[in-house]
Amino acid sequence: MGTRGIRTSVTLFSGPELAGLWPQPVARLADGERLDLLITFGGDGTLLRGARLLGERDAPILGVNLGRMGFLTTATPDTLDEALAAAASGRYQVDTRCALEARILAPDGTDRAGPLALNDVVLHKGGVARVIGLRVLLQAEEIGRYSADGIIVATPTGSTAYSLSAGGPVVLPGVDALVITPICPHTLAVRSIVVPGDSEVTIEQVPPVGDEVLVSYDGQVGTTLQPSERVLVRRARSAVRLIRLEKEGFFARMRRKLQWGDLSDREQS
């Protein structure tokens, strides 16, 4: 790879879905393959998928935004040369973000693990538009029983995603916390809560159980939750490392990408 006078030898791997699209043969990324860097081309959804693909690998992610929002990405096609040069020479900052792991527990003691989630783990209804009953516990203490469309457990990174749309708070990435946000609760007395980052959040269905309930990871992959099963969500052992090249801070990105605090359409008094 040559970029602005920097030359280094690299071995390129590709996700299995893209391996056949390269102009020259590229090795398919195998399970357990060591990586020094992951580059994602797309928007935030592509970066989230890349984080899930990494699993517990400790490689940083360089996100190149080809989409509309790109809140988590750091480069664009116009700045790609500079981004690759910085990545090759190590001239970048690493933004470490916590992720979530979820286990679906059955009454017989068996469990199934879900994939890594950088933004959120969501329990939500499938099928018809009716609320479902969910019981939420923090450690062993019951928080309450919710009649809602679902429950979001979000990281600080995910606090600006689905949780924010559902009325949750913005939590800065460096804060050691998780956010529990109900989706369209059927009462005015239920709001989001912020809990310590090392918390274990358990969610189970409340009888009578009739509607199909799904568990989604970053809104991209999911599975069905059986009536007798419960979901345990906690901080993952491995973190996600995002490469940062731009100098703007978190709130500057909030203003630019999400129009945070934008009063420009109002007349000056």
Catalytic residue among 31, 44, 95, 108: 44
Please name the residue that has the structure tokens 């935004």: 65
Alpha-carbon span 230 to 121, nearest angstrom: 13
Across 131-229, the runs of DSSP E, i.e. the strands, are: 132-138, 141-148, 150-154, 177-183, 193-196, 201-205, 213-217, 221-225
Which residues on adjacent β-strands are paired with residue 6?
3
Is-catalytic flag, 44? yes
Alpha-carbon span 20 to 152, nearest angstrom: 37
The number of C-alpha atoms within 13 Å of 205 and in the hemisphere containing its C-beta is 24
CA dihedral 149, 112, 233, 31 (to 10 degrees): -110
DSSP 104-149: EEPTTS-EEEPPPBSSEEEEEE-SSS--EEEEEEETTEEEEEEEES
Which residues does the annotation mark as catalytic? 44
